[in-house]
Amino acid sequence: MNIEKLNQLKAEMQKYRPLDKDQIRALNKNIRIEHIWSSNAIEGSKIDKFETEAIIDKGITIHGESIGDVLSTIDLNEAYDYMLDLASHKQPLTQTVIRDLNRLALAKTHPEWGGEYRTLEVHPAKTNYNPYSEPFDIRPEMDELVKWATVAQEKLHPVKYAADLHYKFVTIHPFRDGNGRTARLLMSLALTENGYPVINIMPDKDSRNEYMEVLLESQQSGDPTKFENLVGEYMEQTLENRIKILQLNEKNKEDAQKDTNFKRC
């Protein structure tokens, strides 16, 4: 992860005048929809980005799509709302917060499972290596995660902290379902509360495979560096894209002021 470059990009982004309220609202809406669509798609949802927008924006049920996928979209939208509310009141991470993020992410699909630590072993698909914690180790390891987060929030660079939080949480894999979605919400929370934009892991085959493979490699080695680097690359791309939007906004405002037949008073 190139911390210096991330700091430079963030500083450059902050040099430009902010977008107006309508533009910010539209941008944040796009980021939300992309997060919900991509995070659910990584977990196997067949609903595409435009269908996700229709469900969230207009409450339209998509003909022919799984009811479970539709409900997962609604659930993750509510969990995303909660994540934004948490970010606006920056505070230490707690197990209650983590449970509630998971609880909301499963509110309509598996309400009986939400926020409940698993009792049985689970295993990732397509690998003989199992990085996930044993059921009896989950509670003490979640205690340690929260203790670590309290210190790491202050000591680590925000993007590194966000990547490590995702990595540590998903390696414990504490819940019966929704661990991946909860991990990505936690990463988004860590970024948002520190003034960084949300990054969304794309669910196309190549991007998803890279995400899963890098995460597994990091878990096998016990070293999150490769995963941190992947998150750092996503953040660089996101900041660079945000800067381009702000630059275009500046140019459009300047052009509008110059290109007129009306005389200035």
- Active site residues per annotation: 173
Q: Is 183 annotated as belonging to a binding site?
A: yes
Q: Is 44 annotated as belonging to a binding site?
A: no
Q: Is 103 annotated as belonging to a binding site?
A: no
Tokens of 241: 């894209």
Q: Is 178 annotated as belonging to a binding site?
A: yes
**Residues 1 and 163: beta-carbon distance below 8 Å:** yes
Question: 258-265 — which CB contacts under 8 Å span 24+ positions?
Answer: none
Q: Is 184 annotated as belonging to a binding site?
A: yes
**Residues 172 and 65: beta-carbon distance below 8 Å:** no
**Residues 200 and 39: beta-carbon distance below 8 Å:** yes
Q: Residues in the chain, how many?
A: 265
Question: b vs e for 100-116, b when ≥16 Cβ sit within 10 Å of the residue's Cβ?
Answer: bbbbbbbbbbbeeebbb
Q: Is 181 annotated as belonging to a binding site?
A: yes
How many angstroms separate the Cα of 14 from the Cα of each of 9, 19, 29, 64, 246? 9, 11, 21, 44, 9
Tokens of 107: 């509110």
How many angstroms separate the Cα of 85 from the Cα of each of 94, 97, 101, 142, 189? 15, 11, 11, 22, 9
106 phi and psi, to 5 degrees? -115, 10
> Can you say which residues are annotated as belonging to the binding site for ATP?
177-184
In the annotated binding site, the residues are 177-184
